[in-house]
Structure 1
Amino acid sequence: MQEMSYLQDNSKVEALTKAVLISILGVAIVLSNLLIIATYANFKGPTEVINYYLLSLAIADLLCGLLVVPFSVYPALTGEWMYGDIVCRFTGYLEVTLWAVSVYTFMWISVDRYLAVRKPLRYETVQTKTRCQCWMVFTWISAALLCCPPILATRCPSRTT
Structure 2
Amino acid sequence: MTAMTSFTDKHNRTYKTYRQKTQVTCGPACCLIMWANVYHADPIADEGGVIALSQAYPKPWNHSTGAEINNLSGVLRSMAVPNQVETFASTGDLRSALHRRVHFGKPALAFAEWEVDATVVGHFVVVGYADARADEWTILDPMNGSQETTGIPAYYPVTDDADPPVLRFTGAVVFAL
TM-score bracket, shorter-length normalisation: under 0.3
TM-score by length of 1: 0.25
TM-score by length of 2: 0.24
Q: Which has the higher contact order (CA 8 A, sep 6+)?
A: 1
Instruction: Choose between structure 1 and 2: higher strand proportion.
Output: 2
Instruction: Choose between structure 1 and 2: higher helix proportion.
Output: 1
